[in-house]
Structure 1
Amino acid sequence: MERFQIIPLSLLVASDILVIYRITSDKNIVIWKYFISFLFVILYLFHNRLADDRRDFDFDNKFHPDRAVQRGLISLNKLKTLSFISIVLMILLSGSFNFLSLAIFIPLILYALFAKKDFFLAHDFKEKHLFGYNFLNMLQILSLQVFIYASMIDSLHFNSFICFHILFVFVLSLQVEVTRKIKPGTSLGKDLYSDRMGMGGAIVLWGSFGIFSLFISAYLAYMLNIDLNTIFLFEFVMLLLFFIGGTLYYLKKSLTYENYFWAIMFLTYIGQNLFLAYAN
């Protein structure tokens, strides 16, 4: 699907799993669980994309006629079939972990289905409260992280290390979400952050999530006993990249610099994860 970029998404998720591997290295978890976790996350995100395309069908018909469903490249029935298959596969994967995994999967998928119905909120809630609406949807990522860790360690008793990493991934995911919704111009549906805040305001929001992620990653690195000088140097480089990427995109407002903006988000996301996974 055009809106589900499997290769870059897989790289982001794989980098998250590498950090989980380091954090849980003392728990004697069999290696296949990390691979199953990776597959589950990809399937869950794929299911959410299918649900979004079905839920937003009428809106996209009006404001995004260039999308695959609107152009007839894939039908709603096909989306429904793929959604059902993805749920079945997720059930099988969660069952391969333990009973707790299956138990947590139920509220996890119910929340996703609830989100598909726009949480049964007023029809104009999204238009009037875009930020609140998007935050409700992003809570699925937070729940997904809880599911993955609970499945890995077969417990809901998380130490502070795990809790901070869950928060870290959530903040990175928020930054990815904001990245998707910053454009130089105004969209017809006014469903971008840059539509509501202006491009400058949206980039400040993007940078704020980036800086917040740096504070959390620095603390996680400290908990991993990574050398303090190495931490400060790395975080400074990441901060510099945020500043350069956001500033250039705001000043140039072109497709080329939008691609650079995306590249910097991608680089800093994976960079922070690789730093936490391998630095000493």
Structure 2
Amino acid sequence: MFFLWFYRSVCVCVCVCVGRSVITGAHRAAVASAVTRVEVLIDSFRRKQPFTHFLSFALNHPQVQQGFLRFREQVLELCGQDAGVDESIFQNPAKLHLTIGTLALLNEQEVTRASELLQQCRDAIRDITEAKPLPVEVRGIEYMNDDPSMVDVLYAKVTVRDGSEKLQQIADRLVEYFAAAGLMERERERVKIHGTIMNTLFRKDPSAEDKGASARPNAKDREAFNAKNILQMFGEVYFGAFELNSVQISQRFSTDSTGYYSSAGRVTFS
């Protein structure tokens, strides 16, 4: 695909190939202008695309999966008559995860670039974890909107067992790196890491994923549920504890041999 720009009567030809742009021109200023224009166009295009990957901490440890299945069974038994509550809106236990941020990677070259960027973050991550796994606990639930009788997404709370903010620090650092590289939008100063356990998007598509904690899908795409009784009965429910030892770039709409999302890149904490 070819584009032409004119800068002070100088023609600049931009040849956009798969994964790269070739810009030629007679004057440096014209080429620099074209580079800026292409970067703006790509960034604008990326913002309009559905995300393809996301940075995640896996929560699908067997103990947490068992705790989640108990929670699901008890909610359906005790709150199954509440408006909008049914089995279809529960997360797949094998895909339980914390979302850090989403990525719209436009081609294989960008997937490779994102994977390489994650590897470049390894030392910074291990400085935070002291090159050890993080003992984490999954306990309690929360929602984000103002009305507990009209909830679209219910989240599990995850904390580091020593009370530190190491998990938050890793998430913030990763978003900082990926946003600086132009691969991710930084929506807030501190990342809202969230582990979805119930999502009304799952009614129509069990593989659906919210764009993030601040996403606002069209109301007509989902039917909210009444979470008042769930929050009252299970507000401090214990799902389990385990040692978290990695962060990965997860591919949307994919499944690996464990039932979790396929990885396009991973860094371990130890």
User: Do both share a fold (TM > 0.5)?
Assistant: no
TM-score, normalised via structure 2 length: 0.29
- TM-score normalised by length of structure 1: 0.28
Higher helix share: 1
Structure of greater relative contact order (alpha carbons < 8 Å, 6+ residues apart): 2
